[in-house]
Chains A and B, each alone.
Chain A
């Protein structure tokens, strides 16, 4: 059946929100992200060797190492090419263009990589597989028929496609995972992880430390369509945040698409009368500006408004001048700080060179980081390239920071305790500003801790 969804963009947010981090493991990736000057990593992007990215020690892409590239007899693999599919939903009628950056970042990576010589000398042949929200199984079936792996993409309704993928043995390095049914399926490696039984509360931890008097007025606002599984996000969040001192005073719902809120005033009045001081808007950026316009009209704002990582988007800051007291917690190094972080600058240069019309959303980094992890796994397999090997080597990285693009996140939750990381950005004058005092970083620009990756009862 046809589905509607700004829910997707919100669920993407949930997925991104629940991304967790790892402990320090600097072995593979060199210096922690964010610390600036260190000899090997300050090479400006334009002078970097082709195929070298960020803090990754070895070149990610390049000609075949001597000794040729032997490979198992796998689908999608020839001596000269490797066939990869990228899944997404951009071509739909409910929320057109949703998550388009997954495609664009993938295309940019593939172009950059092929120009540097490809993956172990193999040209990457990338196929965009657009499910348009309703055709997840069909596009996965197409991938099953042709691809070696699916990398960098993400489907809003991926739960429907899990069985198809697992039955045909296709492996995936997705940019995000949405449905809990899809998480933890075999043959899956996540560069930006999402857990079905853990909540990432790093941003709430930061707020609790900076605004200890306000956390007894915690409120959650979300769309009734995105309530989340089981007891729902509100109940889960309230329980997970109680040890940090949060007290839930308000759990509000507004109608999700295709119904639409024509007037945000009553919701604002409701929050005001409930005594909300810290508001958690668990939704996507389009509703934040109209909501805050209504707050301005009414003349009341909560003291703090916290948004999940999917709100790190131009849509939020372009939304108008009514936005105040608003913070976004992100797991990637913000594009605004590229000058201090060469890997991010290199990423921006690559995107602007190959896909200048990209949307500057957080998902572009998800996709790019997934591709980097995939390429690293392929290189680690060397002559024994096969689907099983790629998954094994991907997980063997244990922690992954996208060559300096993200916080150090745990790829293999069996080997390392997951950790949640966040860098707090404040929306000031139509732009994102990194708030170091609020973040109180302990890992580059991020604050990472195991307590912030909280198990919860679904």
Chain B
């Protein structure tokens, strides 16, 4: 009984943290339509600024609190609202990427301002004094956290249901035009929503930071544990989010309690499972929720650019890739050569996102995990032969199917969360399993934490040399590129595109949407698996900690920023994320710091670019080719002219005067016509 009380108490303290964080998350989603992956990063900013005020500058705690909660919180929210203006009209993918970009960017900013190699910590409120209830000690700090969580949940519920502002905020998401017609100002409502969400994040950051070390990455990723609570609240209902937080906190702590009762033979394998409980809860909730509850918010209204891929263009690209590699590796030094093949490995993983996210519109945060599974399969089963890549492809596809099958009914942000949960499960439990016995043979997933990967031999050619392997990797990339183009040009590709743009039409042709989704995931997983195997061979060893969910984000971000529907974006992704050694060898000057994998410069560049997606929702490459053809530059083109917003309600478009050529061109672009009107002469004739 005593144990039950103790674990319940600790579960409640965990639940309080989750409730705070998840409430802010749900509030932001309900009022802006954007699932804020950067909620934890905002909390991190709050914690660091509080440390700066209270510890570094020695302000009295109440003053620091007031400044942080009253000034920094809302300010951060308003800045973000301004940055994300226009984001609500873009697709789920772009919105996801924008918040992920904010996450990366904020981490970069915090690293830049507060030197990460210095250790900092915050003291808990009331210096750890505690009260004892039913023989269980609970500190004042923990009681405060619980109280704040309850108050916040109640206050938000009242705000959203019973105040005009709250109703306006919800209306702005449900039906923006209608809300405008009724006199609401959606932009203002959105700004208020972000301000409140950010303030909540700052509060949760200040309350949570004393429990853990003040480390940017830890705080920013803490939020991941709370996704399950938000999912139980169906991203809509604050009372249910609060319940969800209770369920999550108690389940996690009871799992830790129960694992000590496991028999010794099973304990090492299930012990790690209790660490992955938040991911499991998230996955279970998403899979079990009835579909009616999973209505996502506004769908994209914009016409999206889908570049046409030709075989000739693809052949040129493929040949150019191999030739360029051959030319460059001839003059690279030994150190740079070590990284050359890795570029193509990452490029292949980036390429795998194109059919899944670009064509079929299915979000996936688990790409690097699929690559990891493929790399593992190749390392265990590869037989030193290029055909071992088929094993990598098969296992990658199986892993992707494990996401697609249970998540068949999910789409948009829910699918992203489910794939993220799957990635976390792999990262925190499966990849870390100790030795198991399969039919008498000992088998460890990652032997001793790192596994050697052998480079293959092809038809008598030894590919173990760095130059040969880099060339081989480039050839494999070209083959994968050809595969993706073949898919795009075939009926399979048409089905994928239909899955995204016109699911009803797809169903009308008698095609099973779930099967198409499964095919998309399987194809994507297979290509990612091959990429993982190639990258593993490039590094000649793989380790369990190299395939985490967070580590895979830059690939997704960069692909979407560059243009998720352009396979050639994969080349640039590979170069940027894998090319640090090659860049060091070439005379690039200061530009080479952008290639520093994981460096602050790269993080901020990717972050800024991702946040700017609202302005360039199709990605950089399509916009560049538009610009080269003389078309106006996406959204910002129309914004810079006389504020013609053709995707809003008609009342918002100033139709009191004749349309100018610029406005007509913007209209044409928005509805997908090429510009047939030549000059203002044509417009005058019409006007």
Contact = CB atoms under 8 A, between A and B. Distances in A.
Interface of A: 1-5, 7, 90, 92-94, 96-97, 100, 132, 134-135, 137-139, 141-142, 144-145, 157, 159-160, 163, 179-181, 224-225, 227-232, 234-235, 250-270, 272-274, 286-287, 289-290, 293-294, 296-299, 315, 318-320, 322
A251 B256 CA distance: 12
Contacts of B13: 263, 265
A269 B11 CA distance: 11
A254 B334 CA distance: 40
A141 B584 CA distance: 14
B338 A251 contact: no
Interface in B643-658: none
B335 interface: yes
B6 to A, nearest CB: 5
Interface string B316-335: 00000000000000000111
Contacts, number: 209
Contact of B119 (A4, A139, A315): A315
B428 to A, nearest CB: 6
10 contacts: A1-B546, A7-B545, A97-B118, A141-B334, A145-B334, A159-B450, A232-B434, A262-B225, A263-B211, A320-B123
A210 to B, nearest CB: 27
Given A93-B111, A157-B543, A266 B256 contact: yes
B177 interface: no
A290 B449 CA distance: 27
Contacts of B540: 137, 160, 163
A269 B542 contact: no
Contact of A296 (B128, B435, B603): B128
B10 A2 contact: no
Contacts of B6: 269, 272-273, 298
A138 B538 CA distance: 12
A134 B221 contact: no
B121 to A, nearest CB: 7
A298 to B, nearest CB: 6
Interface string B260-299: 1000000110011001100000000000000000000000
Nearest to A144: B334
B256 A231 contact: no
Interface string B1-34: 0010011011101100100000000000000000
Contact of B128 (A230, A268, A318, A322): A322
Contact of B546 (A3, A100, A289, A299): A3
A230 B448 contact: yes
B260 A270 contact: yes
Given A138-B338, A253-B272, A270 B257 contact: yes
A150 to B, nearest CB: 15
The 7 tightest CB contacts between A and B, nearest first, are: A97-B117, A1-B546, A265-B10, A229-B448, A96-B116, A255-B275, A266-B253
B217 A258 contact: yes
Interface string B588-630: 0000000001111001000000000000000000000000000
A4 B597 CA distance: 13
B93 interface: no
Nearest to A272: B6
Nearest to A250: B260
B547 A1 contact: yes
B45 to A, nearest CB: 17
A272 B272 CA distance: 19
B673 interface: no
Contacts of A179: 448, 450
Contact of A263 (B10, B542, B546): B10
B137 interface: yes
B24 to A, nearest CB: 15
B503 interface: no
Given A262-B211, A264-B211, A273-B3, A254 B14 contact: no
B112 to A, nearest CB: 11
B252 A266 contact: yes
Given A94-B217, A260-B212, A297-B139, A255 B543 contact: no
Given A134-B598, A232-B268, A274 B260 contact: yes
B551 A2 contact: yes
Interface in B480-531: none
Nearest to A274: B260
Contact of B338 (A141, A263, A290): A141
Contacts of B542: 1
A315 B341 CA distance: 40
A422 to B, nearest CB: 26
Nearest to B142: A297
Contacts of A94: 217, 598
Contacts of A264: 211
Contacts of A4: 545, 548, 551
Contacts of A294: 211
Interface residues of B, number: 86
Interface of B: 3, 6-7, 9-11, 13-14, 17, 111, 115-119, 121, 123-124, 128, 130, 132, 137-139, 142, 208, 211-213, 215, 217-218, 221-222, 224-225, 252-253, 256-257, 259-260, 267-268, 271-272, 275-276, 333-335, 338-339, 368, 372, 424, 427-428, 432, 434-435, 444, 447-450, 535, 539-548, 550-551, 580-581, 597-600, 603
A350 to B, nearest CB: 23
Given A97-B116, A315-B119, A3 B543 contact: yes
B256 A267 contact: yes
Nearest to B116: A96
A337 B597 CA distance: 43
Contacts of B539: 1, 137, 160
Contacts of B124: 293
Contacts of A139: 335
Contact of A3 (B17, B215, B545, B600): B545
Nearest to A234: B268
A318 B580 CA distance: 37
Contacts of B424: 259
A93 B212 contact: no
Given A92-B598, A253-B271, A290-B211, A266 B222 contact: no
Contacts of A269: 3, 6-7, 10, 253, 256-257
A290 B213 contact: yes
Which of A7, A139, A259 has the most chain B CB atoms inside 10 A of its CB? A259
A181 B447 CA distance: 12
Given A3-B546, A262-B225, 8 more contacts: A4-B548, A96-B117, A224-B275, A259-B224, A260-B212, A267-B256, A290-B213, A320-B123
Contact of B548 (A160, A230, A258, A297): A258
Given A225-B545, A266-B253, A145 B598 contact: no
A267 B271 CA distance: 12
Contacts of B132: 299
Which of B118, B128, B542 has the most chain A CB atoms inside 10 A of its CB? B128
A254 B13 CA distance: 17
B220 to A, nearest CB: 9
B212 A261 contact: yes
Nearest to A296: B128
Contact of B11 (A137, A227, A258, A266): A266
A319 B11 CA distance: 25
A208 B252 CA distance: 34
B14 A263 contact: yes
A155 to B, nearest CB: 12
Nearest to A179: B450
B432 A225 contact: yes
Contacts of A144: 334
A138 B128 CA distance: 47
A400 to B, nearest CB: 28
Which of B10, B14, B252, B253 has the most chain A CB atoms inside 10 A of its CB? B10
A254 B543 CA distance: 19
Contacts of A267: 256
Contacts of A5: 545
Contacts of B257: 266, 269-270, 273
